[in-house]
Structure 1
Amino acid sequence: MIYPLQQVEKARVLVVGDVMLDRYWFGDVDRISPEAPVPVVRMGRVEDRLGGAANVARNITALGGHATLLGIVGQDDTATELQQLAQKNDVQCELQTDPSMSTTLKLRVLGRQQQLLRVDFEHQPSDSSLQAMQQAMLDLLPKHDVLVLSDYAKGTLRQVENLIQSARHLGKPILVDPKGENYLRYKGATIITPNRAEMQDAVGVWADEQDLAQRAQRLRAALELEALLITRSEQGMTLFSQEGRSHVGAQAQEVFDVSGAGDTVLATLALMKAAGQSWDQAMQWANRAGGIVVGKLGTSVVTVKELQ
């Protein structure tokens, strides 16, 4: 496949969802604490990366596209750091500030490149912030080709039904990375991209590929989706549409860290759709990108050069 860089550079994607900052504390471990049976980490360096919906946007710009990020943050240092990182990665920020909450932060402690602990800081946004965000989306969407909804169940998309209906009214393709068991919330989207575990939460455990196809197509019809893409780790990806089933095998050479891989897949899929690719073509590019990013540590991106 030839990377459609000329079309990608013209593509504009609006990413709406749960934005967060991923903070990594890297250190060395050479002893166990005398106070409790836990490792003692001697701190080395600290690194901040964009997470959640912000990582989706970051992946889009890394692949040569244009991304606008819309979400809700608190009035704190984490929000400042997040916006500065976004700007460094050529992501246009349209973040709504909610003084009643703190910006979502995931703190990971690593010793010898192995994750030892994760601490999450998160709060639900207020209803007034959600209303302001929805109005901002309505103002921004006409200038974009595709809408991405990145749901990490942190509250930004708890009124996702309204966002989907607004985008449908404007005739924009809507890609959703879902969370939870109630997929009826996403009715009317163009495509959803659950992973294997999320799909099982939605439709139950399938007996074989034929059973999966039947369950997937029933879900697709019930949600009025154009397509449904299941990411299946070492089993690759499977796309279900009105035309039937399409599958591509996994391309990962070595799996080092799967955190953020779903963001990369979603970003690539959205960018390729905005660039005029079919869902099947977009899936193949997304599969290639996913196979690259799982070989990296932590939330990472795939570049144009790597994908080519």
Structure 2
Amino acid sequence: MSLDCSSAFVIVAGDVMLDRYWFGDSTRISPEAPVPVVHVRRTRDVAGGAANVAINAVNLGARTTLLSIVGDDQDGRSLRSLLESANVQCAFLHDAALQTTVKLRVISRNQQIVRADFEQRPDHELLLPLVARFHEKLESCKTVVFSDYGKGGLVHLGLMMEAGRAAGSTILIDPKGHDYSIYRGATVVTPNRDEFAQAAGKWTDESDFERRAFALRDSLELAALLVTRSEEGMSLFLEGRHIRIPAQAREVYDVSGAGDTVIATMAAAMGAGHNVESAARLANVAAGIVVGKVGTAPITLEELNQHV
């Protein structure tokens, strides 16, 4: 079941960020506080959030446009450069008053020591032009991903969802928060285990989990609900069916960006004509590959096709 996404055209909209990594060694404790001292030996910047979704989709062969907002700052320019070098078409708004979101992680011996976040929410009025750009892109694209990291970039999601449904688009959502009502009418929503619990409540056993999942799918009028469950694999809920997809047996180094890879693979596959079950199985394989990498790291088509 190899993947060919050359016919797929995907729109990604949502919260973008720059994932910054400082790598080094730690051999002593600071005399100033009981924390390790890390001698930083190298640094790396990679695209994160919705930007990582876009790069994953491009790497799988899909033509991809990314809609978001960044600051008029060096971090925003660095992020755009990373994306354009990966062949992502950037349809960005730039706000001089906004700081581009940066997540800084300090890594020692493949372990994250600390993470520092630099972020602020954009003004919702400044985001209105994204809705117009979204309408324009829908004329040539019918596969849409909304990557919601809760940073304010999707404040006008309702308007874009309405436009996507009217255009008959396949709409995939990586959700955030406990209220999923704004996602009603999407094609697929892909929460991880913790995100699902926030929306549907804690479950007591597998039967209760199924009951809550079917209820959430039905209440949101989804074609499918895909819950990623870490070592338990994935659970895909269609009308009256629960399809269990076992986890790929690989060593886990870092789950950063795994959800981005899942939804990007789903979008690229469905945009290329795969049904939702086939796309979910491909996404499961892709996730099993990226969690074996350190840091936010996108999948490649060659890697995926080697394992399917």
If the TM-score is normalised by the length of the shorter chain, which range does it land in?
A: over 0.9
Question: How high is the sequence identity, in percent, across the aligned residues?
Answer: 50
Question: Structure 2: which amino acid aligns with 1:130?
Answer: L
* 2:129 pairs with one of 123, 126, 132: 132
State the partner residue of 2:216.
219
Q: Provide Cα deviations, 1:256-275, integer angstroms capped at 9, x if missing partner.
A: 00010000001001111101
Question: Structure 2: which amino acid aligns with 1:207?
Answer: T
Counterpart Cα distance in 2 of 1:209 and 1:279: 23
Q: Residue 134 of structure 1: CA displacement?
A: 1.0
State the partner residue of 1:109.
106
Question: Structure 2: which amino acid aligns with 1:71?
Answer: S
Contact 1:252 1:295 in 2 (8 A): no
1:149 equivalent in alignment to 2:146: yes
* 1:167 pairs with one of 154, 164, 167: 164
Counterpart Cα distance in 1 of 2:215 and 2:143: 25
Q: Provide Cα deviations, 1:61-104, integer angstroms capped at 9, x if missing partner.
A: 11121111110101100110000000111111111112221111
* 1:77 pairs with one of 68, 74, 93: 74
Q: How does 1:1-308 map to 2 (within 5 A)?
A: 1=1, 3-5=2-4, 8-308=5-305
Contact 2:18 2:79 in 1 (8 A): yes
Question: Structure 2: which amino acid aligns with 1:125?
Answer: P
Question: Structure 1: which amino acid aligns with 2:255?
Answer: V
Counterpart Cα distance in 2 of 1:224 and 1:126: 31
Counterpart Cα distance in 1 of 2:197 and 2:298: 27
Normalised to the residue count of structure 2, the TM-score between the two structures is 0.97
Question: Structure 2: which amino acid aligns with 1:218?
Answer: A
Count of residue pairs the alignment pairs up:
305
Question: Where does structure 2 lack aligned partners over 5 or more consecutive residues?
Answer: none
Query: Which stretch of structure 1 is more off in the superposition, 236-245 or 207-216?
Result: 207-216
Counterpart Cα distance in 1 of 2:49 and 2:3: 26
Query: Which stretch of structure 1 is more off in the superposition, 122-131 or 272-281?
Result: 122-131
Counterpart Cα distance in 1 of 2:240 and 2:274: 16
Q: Residue 243 of structure 1: CA displacement?
A: 4.4
Question: Where does structure 1 lack aligned partners over 5 or more consecutive residues?
Answer: none
Structure 1 segments (4+ residues) deviating >2 Å = 207-210
Counterpart Cα distance in 2 of 1:195 and 1:180: 12
SS in 1 for 2:139: helix
Contact 1:293 1:302 in 2 (8 A): yes
Contact 1:18 1:157 in 2 (8 A): yes
Counterpart Cα distance in 2 of 1:20 and 1:252: 30
SS in 1 for 2:178: coil
Counterpart Cα distance in 1 of 2:240 and 2:127: 37
Query: Which stretch of structure 1 is more off in the superposition, 101-110 or 157-166?
Result: 157-166
Q: Residue 160 of structure 1: CA displacement?
A: 1.6
SS in 2 for 1:94: strand
Contact 1:252 1:292 in 2 (8 A): no
Counterpart Cα distance in 1 of 2:156 and 2:292: 35
Contact 1:161 1:187 in 2 (8 A): no
Question: Structure 2: which amino acid aligns with 1:298?
Answer: G
Normalised to the residue count of structure 1, the TM-score between the two structures is 0.97
